[in-house]
Structure 1
């Protein structure tokens, strides 16, 4: 039984039946609503537009169990990845979800209603079993297994969908095609054989060469079909990648290649993922699909070994080739030969001939340090785009985050550090003193643990935004709780570097240095919730720098911080 794509696009469906759309929307406004998360939103879009054909909704228990055990839906069609709607016990009980219930699914970005789900069943998965069946191991070093155990809710709801609208996109709209739209585009261009190239990384000269070779060997046109939904944590953002794809598209012969964006939430599931990707590309009208070496592999497991073998993905897809109705083209490794200035298949390089390569790690190092990237590796246009998005550390933002008892000397060190950085003049420097933030940003907050944590989260948000823009931030709150500091680090490190400085001046010295009598009033109970008196201070376990202002002059502490920033490449030569 072969997998075949189903009918028209959602846009066509709505255009033909506007009264029905209005009727569904009116009904949905009265129903219990579920606001989707990012992964559920990606899944829903591809369910609605036919990218996940033959699925017509989130999997019920029978389909889910069959996919785990047999790599097939309950009706026998090949399908390799669970597409499930995970909900919490509270969501299920609040909506009283059971077979026959109807539920509105909402967009998290604007709360708009996208579809109505008619519940077929509610079931509780065995997550360990799912992890082993789909990803090969119950190992949280795998990003999808980590998601399964730490993000996904405890219950799955299966059911069919009635579309109201697709999620709206405001970026690269001209390159976002539904399956029906892309098939129509191929027909308009008279493309009858199309090989799809899956990617979640920037493309370079080697990628252009291997896709051209794949097209030449199968007499195909090329579809660059990158994932712009959820990819592996730490991947380069899709805005940068799409700019690269657009630049490299011009390097193909006229009329050979096209670009379309895929709003997929990847699971990094290796062999199962490759089979899933092939089915999706068939739905988008492709006749051929390049399956890479260690296709969609997540890297190393908790024992330091690769999760999947280099050819496991190609082997699994080949097993089902007669049912897929799409031909798999194995990824052909190419090597650069400087003697002839060309890329050739690695297995065709004569013995003794010198080849060159730059690994992903080495490329990131060159971007970080500003070291040159040779033209033989990538195109000058691509280099410009990557350097704009990934400037060297000397031009990146960073945050120095101080913590310590009140009157520890942290505020004085922070102000001196700001003067030192301003003197260098390499980037604008913002000072966020604890008392200033309390009066300007958090004036309504008290000193309960909740309010203290909220204050730190606000500081982290501001610091992250400034860091993202290339500025330097010096934050000096008391920040007494380890969990709140760790959360602040996570927020800022999404944008740039975070350095934690613990000013570990002993409490007795902080009290001795207090000329305002603040500590004395706290001891007398006139000030409640004062850190070190009637509220705890949790010393950082692993700060980047730990200093004692009762034993070191401010200038020496500042110098230590400057040395750390210089060592990490954030200040120095201009």
Structure 2
């Protein structure tokens, strides 16, 4: 890693949101009934739709002020940019099979008994999902989870238009808004984002706490541990269980240089495009740096086991985009646990001939099911307790 001046050296306060201002689409409480009364039709959101609505309303997708029109959708699919030129990783659209929903309609978006938002339908089109798959995910194979999602879960038509927020989804895990997260960040200091979608084990903790000492990070920086708690891959641990592991761990470690929050985001496993999307979101939450691991948001063929992306594709793409986002990347250290020195980099262990201890995810799950003792070098006791109970 090359040394550079910390971003905080040129900044006072918390980094500005992407586009310059934090979008807030929530209607004042006293006006919500009147706004709701303007609707003539309603659409029920999927879990993924609800995540997108929430992030649009609270500004997590700033500078977007609603679901993308076709022009922005096409531009993002073909070149990861909005028509206005800003970087954007993946399209944000509302989908429906309803032929009776047309441009000009004012639609109430509902979710599990809640009234989330009002959508002014300003665009409707039938997307070419083959082009979308190839542009966003680099493949048209339905072995890719996001290709399977857009072809088999997303509906026939896409809708674009402005949003007025009525209420945020009620979730097991309380998701702070970007404004709320920003309010708890130190002025003028770097904020390092750690993204994950699984329970945090010892190696993860070592990774994000050591990132605070990277050469391009300010001395008094903090790390924002910001797990995605929306839909992920089918075999991932459910969000409600992951939430419990994070809460227990946060109480156990009690480190004042760590901030904890949850992100209502639905994973696409899109490799490089996903890395860009996560960086934009984290800048809106006040982060200046983003830890990016080997094969971030990668996925494998369910038939051959081959990776859809190269191990450093996401890292390289994120590093290329970072200057335009006025952010910096912090490469993920390849940490291993050794008998002699605890956690060190794999390179250090190899150079010194240290004895590396390994425990695969498959072995870990087998030991959990069998009631075997999990070594503390691998997992926190608090996390193991939650996983066993689940």
Query: What's the TM-score, normalizing by structure 1?
Result: 0.62
Any idea what SS the aligned residue of 2:276 has? helix
State how many pairs are aligned: 369
1:5, 1:50 within 8 Å by CA — same for their partners in 2?
no
Where does the alignment leave 5 or more consecutive residues of structure 2 unmatched? 1-16
1:56 equivalent in alignment to 2:77 = no
What's 1:462 paired with?
none
2: CA distance, partners of 1:72 / 1:301: 30
C-alpha displacement at 1:386, in angstroms? Answer: 1.8
What's 1:150 paired with?
152
1:78 equivalent in alignment to 2:87 = yes
What's 1:559 paired with?
none
| Deviations, residues 469-501 of structure 1 (Å, cap 9, x unaligned) | xxxxxxxxxxxxxxxxxxxxxxxxxxxxxxxxx
C-alpha displacement at 1:250, in angstroms? Answer: 4.3
| Deviations, residues 388-430 of structure 1 (Å, cap 9, x unaligned) | 22xxxxxxxxxxxxxxxxxxxxxxxxxxxxxxxxxxxxxxxxx
| Deviations, residues 149-173 of structure 1 (Å, cap 9, x unaligned) | 111111111111122222233x343
2:364, 2:374 within 8 Å by CA — same for their partners in 1?
yes
C-alpha displacement at 1:208, in angstroms? Answer: 0.8
Counterpart selection for 1:102 from 100, 106, 119: 106
Residue 67 and residue 156 in structure 1: after superposition, are their counterparts in 2 closer, same or farther (change >3 A)?
same
What's 1:92 paired with?
99
Where does the alignment leave 5 or more consecutive residues of structure 1 unmatched? 390-574
C-alpha displacement at 1:18, in angstroms? Answer: 3.9
1: CA distance, partners of 2:188 / 2:384: 31
What's 2:4 paired with?
none
C-alpha displacement at 1:265, in angstroms? Answer: 0.8
1: CA distance, partners of 2:344 / 2:45: 46
What's 1:181 paired with?
180
Structural mapping, 1:457-468, within 5 Å: none
Residue 164 and residue 240 in structure 1: after superposition, are their counterparts in 2 closer, same or farther (change >3 A)?
closer
What's 2:235 paired with?
234
| Deviations, residues 183-233 of structure 1 (Å, cap 9, x unaligned) | 11215xx57221111011111111111111101222321111011111111
Deviates more, 1:344-353 or 1:202-211: 344-353
Query: What's the TM-score, normalizing by structure 2?
Result: 0.90
Residue 129 and residue 343 in structure 1: after superposition, are their counterparts in 2 closer, same or farther (change >3 A)?
same
Comparing both structures, which one devotes a greater share of its residues to helix?
1
What's 1:322 paired with?
323
1:48, 1:163 within 8 Å by CA — same for their partners in 2?
yes
1:81, 1:276 within 8 Å by CA — same for their partners in 2?
yes
Counterpart selection for 2:34 from 19, 23, 30: 23
Any idea what SS the aligned residue of 2:116 has? strand
C-alpha displacement at 1:293, in angstroms? Answer: 1.0
1: CA distance, partners of 2:386 / 2:20: 36
1: CA distance, partners of 2:205 / 2:251: 11
What's 2:204 paired with?
207
Greater relative contact order, per chain length (Cα 8 Å cut-off, separation 6+): 2
C-alpha displacement at 1:304, in angstroms? Answer: 2.9
2: CA distance, partners of 1:387 / 1:165: 35
C-alpha displacement at 1:309, in angstroms? Answer: 0.8
1:192 equivalent in alignment to 2:196 = no
1:139, 1:302 within 8 Å by CA — same for their partners in 2?
no
1: CA distance, partners of 2:58 / 2:20: 11
1:49, 1:179 within 8 Å by CA — same for their partners in 2?
yes
1:231, 1:267 within 8 Å by CA — same for their partners in 2?
yes
What's 2:47 paired with?
38
1:3, 1:78 within 8 Å by CA — same for their partners in 2?
no
